[in-house]
Chains A and B, each alone.
Chain A
Amino acid sequence: MLKDITLGQYFPINSVVHRMDARFKIIITMLFLVMLFWGQRVTTLAAGLLFVIVATACSKIPLKMLVKSIKPIVPVLIITGLFNLLLLDGGKTYWRWHFLKLTEEGIQTSAFMIVRICLLIAGTSLLTYTTSPIVLTDAIEALLSPLKKLKMPVHELAMMMTIALRFIPTLIEETDKIMSAQKARGADLESGGLMQRVKALTPILIPLFVSAFRRAEELALAMECRCYHGGEGRTRLRVLKSGLRDYIALIFTLLMFAAVILCNIFVKF
């Protein structure tokens, strides 16, 4: 059934990485991304690969889960790969046909890009695999909290995010139900041209919106009854706690980052 789809990609097992402070995980992932974009050398990729291998091993996430996360972007990989492979000029030319060619530079860049994108996805997936959406939201709220001083509605945004996460499964289930009900009344959702199909969605979208608004109203009332009055003076059940391992992980990432920068400047490959 639709509601069985797991939300986000959280993979709930117990590991060092799962237990890490989500704020640190976010910062480390950010550093990792910046590093990948910054470094133009093979050493960057080597460092990135090392990072992903170590992180995967520590998080006990099965390798096939990482492969799964890369699957949806395979078309992107192919297009980027082919683009670089066949269009780039430079170095030895192995083959040429009209404007298409196969060159040394092309092969290198193509491989580089593919590995880079794979690492990028693997790294961010590790974050979402090891951190539940709700904790992720908490961590984002905590990291953005300095912006509260600038009158940014950080708490409100986080609360909206939480409620969205909470209601996605409910609304998916509801959509499913409304679709069946309208099909039972002979609504034709499968045939016709684009315009016809868009029009055929009306019987589904209107009830869905009406229901979402009704839910919003009732939820607001229920929240008010439970003394909700914004973020002011709020405490939390789940407190983000940082420990030694978080600092160690951060230090290692920083060291790696520094190494990559140094390589970028001093090493020529």
Chain B
Amino acid sequence: MPILEANNLTYTYSIGSPFEKTAVDHINLQIEQGEFVGIIGHTGSGKSTLMQMMNGLLKPTEGTVLLDGRDIWEKKADRRAVRFQVGLVFQYPEYQLFEETVYQDIAFGPKNMGLEKDEIDRRVRETAEIVGLDASLLEKSPYALSGGQKRRAAIAGVMAMEPRVLILDEPTAGLDPIGRTTILTQLREYHRRTGCTVMLVSHSMEDVAKYVSKLLVLSHAKVVCYDTPANVFARGSELESMGLALPQITRVFHELRARGMDFPEEVYTVKFGAELLKARLEGSAPVC
């Protein structure tokens, strides 16, 4: 059974007003336990709305979200529990920091869950370590941290609830290359260590492709495809026609194919591409 399932999921903003807009349009989707999903689509494709329905912050206008096969809107009392199970990190999460110390801020979620003090302490320290925040920083004010550290503290605040599904809306937005790599590597490590399902919204295929096990491509409020990165990039020209930029390396190999060279379509890392070229250059049978 998939951990998260969307059936006919639809969300329409401002129904009946001139601003009416369907942000998510009859989406069907099954996310398996332990998957690392990258979600791609341009602004207005419905990514954020979909994410907010997945953890019960928005109530679908139509359709259902199933967590472990159960409709999250079935019983009213369940809703907060759903938010603890499906953790959602918003874009620019550092803007939500508010406690006096980093420690207290990370503890905010677990405290709301009504956990014991010792358990909270364990979780705060563990997640701080996962996101690479030194123990000495925990007693500082969150506003005294650097930009990248603030971002990671905010992510830790959601991780500390130990959700079974962790959803992040563009966790690397606005960061420099080091900041981006740091967070993406830590997320991969978190995924490996906890085995939790992670869903990552991103604008950049280049960044995400090497970390995820599945890619979900959204366009105009609908799912275009949900598949492994290799299979998704094999449909490269289709993605480009939707205005989604392919990684440079993928474009190189598409171009080489267009010139009649026999290369696979689904090249999306430099490493793989270089291996392919080297093998071809060395092992190539001499022309008769």
Tell me the A residues contacting B by CB distance below 8 Å.
Answer: 1, 4, 174, 177-178, 180-188, 202-203, 206-207, 210-211
In the complex where A4-B14, A203-B108 touch, is A184 in contact with B98 (Cβ < 8 A)? no
- A210-B52 Cα distance, complex, nearest whole Å: 25
Residues of A close to B55: CB separation below 8 A: 184
**Do B52 and A185 touch across chains, with their CB atoms under 8 A apart?**
no
Bitwise, B84-103 to A at CB < 8 A (1) or not (0) is 10011110010111100000
Chain A contact residues: over half helix, strand or loop, or mixed? helix
A-B contact count (CB 8 A): 62
Q: Say whether B173 faces chain A, with CB atoms less than 8 Å apart.
A: no
**Do B88 and A184 touch across chains, with their CB atoms under 8 A apart?**
yes
Which of A186, A202, A210 interacts with B84 by CB under 8 Å? A186
Which of B17, B80, B89, B96 interacts with A182 by CB under 8 Å? B96
**Do A185 and B57 touch across chains, with their CB atoms under 8 A apart?**
no
Q: Say whether B267 faces chain A, with CB atoms less than 8 Å apart.
A: no
Residues of A close to B97: CB separation below 8 A: 207
Distance between A11 CB and nearest chain B CB, rounded to angstroms:
14
**Do B108 and A185 touch across chains, with their CB atoms under 8 A apart?**
yes
28 contacts between A and B (CB under 8 A): A1-B19, A4-B14, A4-B19, A177-B90, A177-B95, A178-B95, A180-B52, A180-B90, A181-B90, A181-B96, A183-B57, A184-B89, A184-B90, A185-B108, A185-B109, A186-B80, A186-B84, A186-B108, A186-B109, A186-B161, A188-B80, A203-B96, A207-B95, A207-B96, A207-B98, A210-B95, A210-B98, A210-B143
Distance between A115 CB and nearest chain B CB, rounded to angstroms:
33
Which of B17, B57, B96 interacts with A178 by CB under 8 Å? B96
- A58-B89 Cα distance, complex, nearest whole Å: 52
Distance between B55 CB and nearest chain A CB, rounded to angstroms:
6
Q: Say whether B13 faces chain A, with CB atoms less than 8 Å apart.
A: yes
Residues of A close to B80: CB separation below 8 A: 186, 188
- A64-B83 Cα distance, complex, nearest whole Å: 43
Bitwise, B142-178 to A at CB < 8 A (1) or not (0) is 0100000000000001100100000000000000000
**Do A185 and B95 touch across chains, with their CB atoms under 8 A apart?**
no
Q: Say whether B241 faces chain A, with CB atoms less than 8 Å apart.
A: no
